[in-house]
Amino acid sequence: MKFSPLVDELIQSLKVLPGVGPKSAQRMAFQLLERQRSGGLKLGKALEAAMTDVGHCQSCRTFTEEQRCSICANPRRAEAGQLCVVESPADVLAIESSGHYSGQYFVLMGHLSPLDGIGPDDLGLDVLDERLASGDIKELILATNPTVEGEATAHYIADMAKAQRLTVSRIAHGVPVGGELEYVDGTTLALSFSGRQQV
Amino acid sequence: MKFSPLVDELIQSLKVLPGVGPKSAQRMAFQLLERQRSGGLKLGKALEAAMTDVGHCQSCRTFTEEQRCSICANPRRAEAGQLCVVESPADVLAIESSGHYSGQYFVLMGHLSPLDGIGPDDLGLDVLDERLASGDIKELILATNPTVEGEATAHYIADMAKAQRLTVSRIAHGVPVGGELEYVDGTTLALSFSGRQQV
Ligand SMILES: [Zn+2]
Ligand SMILES: [Zn+2]
């Protein structure tokens, strides 16, 4: 015995969500059915619209339902000739929130990972190379994550950009402002020391 | 700056799910967009269908898109005149899986909780009382959870059934089969002692 077909289908379908197993799928389905019908319906429509209509920005690869995202479509973002390479759309949001960068982005949607079969073309590095060759970019800022894969990806892209004689920079890594030294991990501390500047 | 409208709407809508905050909603949205388009579309359609068409069984109150659920619609389940009261559809599934009960159910969809404003009518106890008065039920089995609220709800329903001179029983609570005493909580152990049987 199972639940009714529509309830079963809902529980099975919820398991597509990351971190959602059979028990939480069931709990989610019941909560929506009991208390959140309109919210559940709204989610259903949002999913259908997003899965069908959201693609990638032709210029920076981030998610958007337009041909170009709002940042790439803004001519003022191109003025400085800066292009910042990040791993995910969430990184763009974080950098925009900091309010100190007004250039353009290139979103890799991942990082180089030979073991998972993710190579340069999967990250759109062929597209990036064309953009670097266009002459519009003056400085390439590498803001991939300070992980082994992120660093390897940054090195790979730095070599590409240097071959085009572009200025390449890497964002600084170190102790976060307000962070206490004793709670900062060793890798961050090491980066913090190797990146020290004279005062 | 936010994400594109459709992506934003998806992230906001995902927060309706229990236990999903802004960060996990974002992670879920990106994972669906990057790797699970067809699964996400399927979930969208399942949500729309379930939120629109799933109602409550007229006889037992469990979730179903039919007027009566498959158990209530099965005449053989009525033969023994047994009615088992549980708190949720998941409890029906658990009891069915055990394979030792072949009667009917009544699903409260919750428990009495005066502080949350959940009274007898919210649990369909008026409907249950009519069923008990119909003469079709010989034994009422109380299988609410062994919590304070579950016990209070069981007591309330037991009084209703006794007023109709029906046999009322409560499922036994105690140490689970295969469980080790030292890992069983005190309340369960107490129930286990008070429910001891001569051997
Ligand atoms: Zn873009
Ligand atoms: Zn039913």
- Average pLDDT score over residue span B88-103: 87
The CATH number corresponding to A78-170 among 3.30.70.1290, 1.10.10.60, 3.30.565.10, 3.40.1360.10 equals: 3.40.1360.10
**Chain-centre distance of CA A182, in angstroms?**
29
Read off the pLDDT band of B1 (50, 70, 90).
low
pLDDT for the residue B199: 64
pLDDT for the residue A198: 65
Least confident of A91-105, A166-180, B44-58, B155-169: A166-180
- Average pLDDT score over residue span A173-185: 77
Size of interface A-B (CB pairs under 8 A): 183
- Asked whether the beta carbons of residue A26 and residue B96 sit closer than 8 angstroms, the reply is no
- Asked whether the beta carbons of residue B31 and residue A39 sit closer than 8 angstroms, the reply is no
pLDDT for the residue A1: 55
Q: Which residues make beta-bridge pairs with B55?
A: B64
CA distance B100 to B134: 25
In CATH terms, the superfamily for domain A5-53 is RecR Domain 1 (1.10.8.420)
Higher pLDDT, A18 or B100: A18
Nearest by CB to residue A89, choosing from B30, B54, B92, is B30
CA distance A4 to A182: 55
pLDDT for the residue A185: 79
pLDDT for the residue A68: 96
pLDDT for the residue A33: 96
CA distance B198 to B165: 28
Nearest to B140 by CA among B156, B116, B122, B152: B156
pLDDT for the residue B158: 94
In chain A, pLDDT over 90 holds for what percent of residues?
70
Higher pLDDT, B193 or B113: B113
Q: What is the mean pLDDT of chain A?
A: 91
pLDDT for the residue A20: 96
pLDDT for the residue B73: 95
Least confident of A26-40, A50-64, B152-166, B177-191: B177-191
B149 pLDDT above the threshold of 70: yes
- Average pLDDT score over residue span B3-19: 96
- Average pLDDT score over residue span B85-112: 91
Q: How far is the CA of B87 from the centre of ligand 2 (A)?
A: 14
- Asked whether the beta carbons of residue A63 and residue B33 sit closer than 8 angstroms, the reply is yes
- Asked whether the beta carbons of residue B45 and residue A48 sit closer than 8 angstroms, the reply is yes
- Average pLDDT score over residue span A76-88: 94
In chain B, pLDDT over 90 holds for what percent of residues?
70
Read off the pLDDT band of A77 (50, 70, 90).
very high
pLDDT for the residue B186: 79
Relative to the alpha carbon of A83, which ligand is closest? 1
pLDDT for the residue B6: 97
Locate the domains of chain B by residue range: 5-53, 78-170
A84 pLDDT above the threshold of 90: yes
A46 pLDDT above the threshold of 80: yes
- Asked whether the beta carbons of residue A44 and residue B42 sit closer than 8 angstroms, the reply is no
pLDDT tens track for B118-132: 999 999 999 999 999
- Scanning A100-129 for CB atoms below 8 A from B yields 109
